[in-house]
């Protein structure tokens, strides 16, 4: 008797569940790597969707309880403001997008979001400058965590982590946020020593420049708690001259 591929996949899935393992993308999705689309196919342009489905087995990720295999790539079509802020602060929040994004970051999965789907950018011409600077900072932090912000024709290269032969897609670069971050802030403390705020560290070592940068301080300079958190997250080397 010949055993069908579907039966083999079902048996493998059940065995792995009982043993506490996870299903590799190559088993669950056949010959194509698995990609979870956080959103609906209809939200993508037809050419972009066709190209993505050429290289990936696409599963829609629409519900909070949907499983996100640690072997899958993740594409977020629309990133709302709550998810943007909460995940930048290290919290998955209460949205499907936030949970999927945080899970992908923690698991080290390839994860990308469409630039045109960043909700906060729709208010660049109307929102207060300080609020936009805050959202721009959150966007930079997420890029530092590994999130790639792409156009719809860059998705495949971003998630595979390499250019494709014969591809005409433009080179993927870190997306620049709409407003510039707040200017560096050095606040004199009561003792006369200078206090470097989070905004100051962000300006000196922007997340778009990657991890492991060097920050030079004077011997008497102090750092705020938020500045220290940013330094730890970005693995910044602090040198006191």
Average pLDDT, the chain: 78
Of 119, 99, 100, nearest in space to 35 by CA: 100
Give the tens place of pLDDT for each residue, 42-85: 888 899 999 999 999 998 888 877 777 888 899 999 999 999 99
Q: Are residues 57 and 116 located together in one domain of the fold?
A: yes
The range of the structural domain enclosing residue 53 comes to 32-160
Is 156 in contact with 164 (CB distance < 8 Å)? yes
Q: Are residues 50 and 117 located together in one domain of the fold?
A: yes
- Any idea what the CATH number is for the domain that residue 96 is in? 3.40.50
Euclidean distance between CA atoms 157 and 104, whole angstroms: 17
User: Does residue 195 surpass a pLDDT of 90?
Assistant: no
Euclidean distance between CA atoms 23 and 121, whole angstroms: 37
Give the tens place of pLDDT for each residue, 142-185: 999 999 999 988 999 989 887 765 555 555 555 555 544 444 45
Give the sign of the dihedral formed by CA 187, CA 143, CA 210, CA 150: negative
User: Does residue 6 surpass a pLDDT of 80?
Assistant: no
User: What are the angstrom distances between the C-alpha of 127 and each of 101, 119, 158?
Assistant: 25, 12, 30
- In a domain, residue 170? The reply is no
Task: Name the pTM for this structure.
Answer: 0.61
- In a domain, residue 145? The reply is yes
The strand pair at 186-188 and 111-114 is best described as unpaired
User: Does residue 187 surpass a pLDDT of 80?
Assistant: no
Q: Are residues 154 and 116 located together in one domain of the fold?
A: yes
* Segment (H or E) for 198: helix 198-204
Q: Are residues 40 and 92 located together in one domain of the fold?
A: yes
């Amino acid at each position: 008797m010949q055993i069908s591929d579907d039966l083999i996949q079902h048996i493998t899935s059940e065995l792995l569940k009982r043993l506490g393992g996870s299903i590799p993308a190559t088993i669950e999705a056949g010959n194509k790597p698995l990609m979870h689309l956080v959103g609906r196919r209809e939200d993508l342009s037809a050419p972009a969707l066709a190209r993505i489905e050429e290289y990936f087995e696409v599963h829609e990720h629409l519900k909070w309880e949907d499983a996100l295999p640690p072997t899958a790539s993740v594409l977020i079509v629309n990133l709302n403001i709550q998810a943007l802020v909460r995940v930048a602060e290290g919290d998955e929040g209460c949205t499907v997008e936030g949970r999927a994004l945080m899970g992908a970051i923690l698991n080290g999965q390839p994860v990308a979001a469409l630039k045109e789907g960043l909700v906060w950018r729709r208010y660049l011409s109307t929102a207060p400058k300080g609020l936009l600077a805050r959202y721009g900072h959150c966007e930079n932090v997420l890029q530092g965590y590994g999130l790639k912000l792409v156009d719809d024709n860059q998705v495949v290269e971003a998630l595979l982590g390499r250019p494709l032969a014969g591809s005409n897609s433009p080179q993927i670069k870190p997306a620049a946020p709409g407003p510039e971050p707040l200017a560096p802030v050095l606040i004199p403390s009561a003792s006369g020593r200078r206090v470097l705020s989070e905004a100051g560290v962000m300006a000196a070592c922007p997340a778009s420049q990657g991890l492991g940068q060097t920050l030079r301080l004077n011997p008497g300079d102090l750092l705020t708690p938020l500045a220290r958190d940013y330094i730890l997250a970005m693995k910044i080397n602090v040198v006191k001259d």
